[in-house]
Amino acid sequence: MSELLRYLVENEPSFRRARLPALYSDFRSQRTLNPDGFTANVSAWKRGLSSAALAGLAPSKSGMRSHFTIELDDALLHALESKQFGRPLALGTAIHDAVVSGDLLPLEKFLNTKESIYYKSWGSIPWSVVAWGLRQAGLERGIGGLLGSWGEDNIPKGQFVVLHNLEIAAKAFSDAIADRTSPFERTFSKTHFRRTFEGGLLSDNKQRLSEADVDVLVKFLSRDKAIIATDGHTIRIRTSEAESAAITEEDTAIASLKELMEDLTRQTQVLSRRVDELNEVAQDAVRRKNRVSALAAFKSRKLAEANFAQRHATLGRLEEVAAGIQQAADNVQMVRTMQASTAALRSLNAAVGGADRVDAVLDALREQMGEVDEVGNVIAEVGQVPGVVDEADVDDELEAMLAEERKKEEEAERAKKEAKDAEETRRKLAELQDLGPVPAGLPGQAQTTKEGHEGEKRPSTPATAAAEALGGLSLDGPGADNKAERLTS
């Protein structure tokens, strides 16, 4: 199994092993017998070729991996050949369908066409109708006469642009430039543009766009998406479709300045590493007592340091120029904003009509508000008739009802508490009766008569002991009636 076929089997759901016999068969007859199956097979091949090209696995004569174009020839059939299933017999049919539908576009035509590929002219409608009618009638050779050898199912030769892959890259590009707001950040030379974006637009960050990929992408972004403006050498990211698509002298100057700064930055990095390497060489020569090598290394290091300092000084001046350009661009934007704001204020002030008109409007407003107050007062006077409820009387009556209700609640709470105390007293008396006679020698056994003589001794019960204990209680005063009632109950 080839690398290309292995990639499709492992990464494309429609190329699972159970589907390979159907995909490698001659399914052209299913166009009329089984239209759904035919459409599924054609769609699977179109998605598979698009995915293979995006991964850089499509075969190419030049040996360079391209992600936005695919080279169609017999080498593609050979790369898809399987020992078990052979070559895909209906691959040409799927490719022709992709060409007719616009999923695959001839590279030369794509680069030279001035109109957007999304623009469908009226002249293209008759061909679409004829092609659809011939396919529905099963007249493949009728279409073959227009496209060339369709009936023989030959693969069209040449390089074709994969539209789906370009749309994926355009979406990634839009996300990557979202934070670039100033003109200095949005302007590039073509070389600087390729260095900046060649590595961040593919799902695999290790892959890089080829020079041909960049050419195709720039054409697509400028002509079909209106995201960038270019003259072939300078590229400017547009903030909106309303922005001019022309490249100005300022754009060219900014692009050249940025490219020069990038080159100087790269040179300073190289010189910095060179100085470090020569310093190590000189130190090694000194350790080995090699005077000649040490002197040569020191001289080379001095030259490298001088070049390094010169490059850094130049880079510093260029950075100052870049900062000035950015400041000037910000000033231009600020002035434009102020001009637009001035025009807006002038229009609004004209609509207002000036201070005199505002005073007149306010006077009229005050007059009308005065009339509203007068009408309200008249209505209020008419509403004051006998029998109107006095709010103060209502409040007093409500307070009286609330006070009476609180009094009832307090009395109920007090009665509840007294009942609880009486129940507690009865419970204690019952406990004392359950204890039985008081043992001999306890206080209360000797009974004394009114004359002070010791009376006849009799056994004392808990009830009599409690009675003696309660005998000294006074039944006079507030609550005495309640206490007496509790003792007799």
CA distance 52 to 164: 12
Alpha-helix residue ranges (DSSP H) falling in 220-290: 249-287
Mean pLDDT across the stretch 188-197?
A: 92
**Over residues 211-217, mean pLDDT:** 93
CA-based end-to-end distance of the chain: 111
- pLDDT for the residue numbered 467: 54
Q: What is the pLDDT of residue 475?
A: 44
**pLDDT score for 396:** 82
Instruction: Please give the residue that has the higher pLDDT: either 143 or 322.
Output: 322
The helix/strand count (H/E) of the chain reads as 18, 6
Q: How confident is the model at residue 42 (pLDDT cuts 50, 70, 90)?
A: very high
pLDDT for res 1: 72
The answer to whether the pTM exceeds 0.85 is no
- Among 30-34, 307-311, 431-435, 449-453, the minimum mean pLDDT is found in 449-453
- Predicted confidence (pLDDT) at residue 43 exceeds the cutoff of 50: yes
pLDDT digits (tens, 9 = 90+) for 60-97: 887 788 899 999 988 888 889 888 888 999 999 999 99
Amino acid found at 169: A
Spatial distance between the Cα atoms of 194 and 198, rounded to a whole number of angstroms: 5
- Percent of the chain exceeding pLDDT 90 equals 41
Burial category of 377 from C-beta neighbours within 10 Å (exposed 0-12, middle 13-18, buried 19 and up): exposed
Quick one: average pLDDT of 207-223? 93
Asked if 89 and 26 count as a contact pair (C-beta separation under 8 A), the reply is yes
**What is the pLDDT averaged over residues 238-265?**
89
- Rounded percentage of the chain residues whose pLDDT exceeds 70: 80
Question: Taking a C-beta distance cutoff of 8 angstroms, is the pair 210, 204 a contact?
Answer: no
Of 166, 158, 164, nearest to 213 (Cα)? 166
Q: Decide which of 391 and 98 is more confident.
A: 98
Question: Can you say whether the dihedral through the CA atoms of 57, 58, 62, 68 is positive or negative?
Answer: negative
Mean pLDDT value of segment 465-481: 50
Q: pLDDT tens digits for 396-438?
A: 888 888 888 899 999 999 999 999 999 998 888 888 887 766 5
How high does pLDDT run on average in the chain? 82
Range 379-401 average pLDDT: 72
Least confident interval from 53-67, 256-270, 462-476 = 462-476
Q: Which residue type is seen at 351?
A: A
* pLDDT band at residue 463 using 50, 70 and 90 as cut-offs: low
Give the type of residue at 255: A
pLDDT tens column, 127-140:
445 455 545 555 44
CA 358 centroid distance within chain: 47
pLDDT greater than 70 at residue 306: yes
- Rounded Cα distance between 1 and 82, Å, is 6
Q: Supply 224's token pair.
A: 């079909």
| Six token digits for residue 232 | 């072939």
pLDDT at 347 over 70: yes
d(C-alpha 481, C-alpha 487), whole Å: 10
- pLDDT score, position 122: 41
Instruction: Locate 32 and state its tokens.
Output: 């009329």
385 band by pLDDT with thresholds 50, 70 and 90: low
pLDDT at 19 over 70: yes
Average pLDDT score over residue span 464-475: 52
Is residue 310's pLDDT more than 90? Answer: yes
* Confidence band, pLDDT 50/70/90 cuts, at residue 468: low
What is residue 150's predicted lDDT score, i.e. its pLDDT? Answer: 43
User: Which two three-digit tokens encode residue 16?
Assistant: 């699972």
Does residue 489 have a pLDDT over 50? no
